[in-house]
Amino acid sequence: MPRRHDPGRRRRIIDAAVRVVSDKGLAGLSHRSVAAAADVPLGSTTYHFKTLDELVVAALRQVSAEWVAGIERLARRGLPGEAALADELARLLGRWLAGDRARLELEYELYLAALRREAVRPVAAEYLDAMTRVLRPYVADEATARAVVALVDGVLLQCLLTGRPYDREEVRTALSRVLTDEGAGL
């Protein structure tokens, strides 16, 4: 029997890996669970992704690309200068946290997989670099852009981990301090 050509199979496997991590966490990710979720033979997952790390990398690349694309769309519409950027970012974080919490949890679970999976670290670094690159035209320098990215990640993680309510004004104030260098002496 000739091999069936299925050009979308790799993407379906990645989509299935994202769903598995979303539903069961990284602990539930296996070639078998992904094959079942993608409705493909087990051999297809191992053909396209020899290791689970390769599958995690592909899933993180996909999720990160979607996240960065959203920020790039926002930037194309025009982000304000430093003074108003704190307001815009604080509003955006509030919208993200009020939106699909499961999606945010998924994104951070994949992102934080880099702590234990060395193969994932370059992808996490690419995400940080991409976010910095998007913000860089709107802030004083690259160090400020990286500080904003770190603050955004920290705020989102704290809200996700603690269940603490999001305080837009507190976040706006913190972002404003980073953006205007008021907190540099701390």
| Average pLDDT over every residue of 62-74 | 81
Provide the pLDDT confidence category of residue 186 given band limits of 50, 70 and 90. Answer: very low
Q: Contact 56/115 with Cβ under 8 angstroms?
A: no
Structure tokens at 60: 């993180």
Under 8 Å CB-to-CB from 116, ≥6 apart: which residues? none
Q: What angle do CA 132, 134, 135 make, to 5 degrees?
A: 65
Establish if 32 belongs to a structural domain.
yes
Establish if 55 belongs to a structural domain.
no
> Whole-prediction pTM value?
0.82
Give yes or no: residues 120 and 171 share one domain.
yes
Whether residue 47 has pLDDT greater than 60: yes
Q: What Rg, from alpha-carbon coordinates, does the chain have?
A: 19
Structural domain count of the chain: 2
Q: Which of 97, 63, 99, 113 is nearest to 170 (CA)?
A: 97
Domain of 170 in residue numbering reads as 60-185
